[in-house]
Amino acid sequence: MTISERKPTMTTNATGQRRPALFSDGFDLGRLLLQGRAFFALIAIIVVFSVLSPNYLTVSNLLTMSSHVAVYAILAVGMLLVILNGGIDLSVGSTLGFSGVIAGFLMQGVPIGGVTLYPSLWVVVVLSCGMGAFIGLINGVLVARFRVAPFVATLGMLYVVRGVGLLMTNGLTYNNLAGDPALGNTGFDWLGFNRLFGLPIGVLVMIIVGIVVSLLLNRTVFGRWLYASGGNERAAELSGVPVKRVKVRVYVLSGLFAAIAGLILSSELTSASPTAGNSYELTAIAAVVIGGAALSGGIGNVRGTLLGAFVIGFLSDGLVIIGVSSYWQTVFTGAVIVLAVLLNSVQYTGKPRRSGGGRSDDQSTPTTPSPTSDAQAPAGAVPEKTRG
């Protein structure tokens, strides 16, 4: 009765066969390591670099690295929403840069008729975020209403948005974002430089975004709709889930978060370059994937994504600190991403196969010794016996 009647295809079976041998006996340890892989990777990174450099594990360095991470992490949380939906948003890097450009443009004053208007800071922030959300809306409408493949729609927006940013600035950078007390538009650097409760504002924003999105995913109808439509859009639609509305919203949120990240980045740099955030979308995707989300949709969470962003950020900053060349940094980052995807595929092809005999794994553990380093050896021998 507990055995599933689902008939797997032959190929998944061939691999499914070995899985219990790999994980059933070293199950507790193996599964723990697999599920918490982003966390353990982060611990390992911190330990290794702390040994290699005395400057790594200091409060000030951790905070500096965290504010680097914050920009990627906020992007990645938006990306997570899109990926949970089974889509992808390649335009976030451009949106991030464009958001800074909009802010810079408004800070320089907007000439209307004969007068130049200097909008106050909150107006700048709201308009920049609104522009990010609007770019997301275009993505969402293209994908949901006009059924353009997400990859293509957002790739197009990547170019369009970047191009518009370059046009607006003529390729130049806005350097004066400090504002003028006389004009009442100061405070832009607050985002990038100030601290509250000892934490950089960017990190706080990241924490808030993380908590809000976490609540959104786990405690609201929208979150459930998102998981359902990402897992099986047809079934979700037939269950009354407004799948198109959900889809549009995730792109809007992704654009919004990209704009917030853009404001933080330009504030930290006190300059807004139209080329800022180039290829950041790829880092964001990598963070989501390292965090255990499935690119096919329906699986993933905020905690994993944040850990993924920290893994990437702490790794590349660590390599800088110990003086590894930037070429090697690229290689390491790539290797981590590939490893993460590899482990994802182990986890997700393993799960449905095992779900049939889900209980079996638990029950088989008492007969074997507690998972030690050599527990894998007898475990591997079992299937050989049954086969021979």
Q: Which residues bind another protein (CB under 8 A)?
A: 1-10, 13-14, 17, 215, 219-221, 224-225, 227-228, 230-232, 234-242, 294, 297-299, 351-352, 355-364, 383, 386-388
Distance CA 218, CA 195 (A): 30
Distance CA 159, CA 140 (A): 16
Nearer to another protein, 75 or 83 (CB): 83
Rounded to a whole number of angstroms, the distance between the first and last alpha carbons of the chain is 29
Which tokens go with 361?
A: 């794994």
Nearer to another protein, 130 or 357 (CB): 357
Which tokens go with 69?
A: 């991470």
DSSP 8-class letter at 381: H
> How near is the Cβ of 296 to another protein at its closest, in Å?
9
* 274 residue type, one letter: P
Sign of CA dihedral 336, 339, 345, 346: negative
> How near is the Cβ of 352 to another protein at its closest, in Å?
5
> How near is the Cβ of 226 to another protein at its closest, in Å?
11
> How near is the Cβ of 341 to another protein at its closest, in Å?
18
Nearer to another protein, 220 or 372 (CB): 220
Instruction: Specify the DSSP element, H or E, that contains 151.
Output: helix 150-169
Distance CA 262, CA 254 (A): 12
Nearer to another protein, 86 or 371 (CB): 86
Nearer to another protein, 265 or 293 (CB): 293
Nearer to another protein, 12 or 325 (CB): 12
> How near is the Cβ of 214 to another protein at its closest, in Å?
12
> How near is the Cβ of 235 to another protein at its closest, in Å?
5
Distance CA 263, CA 28 (A): 44
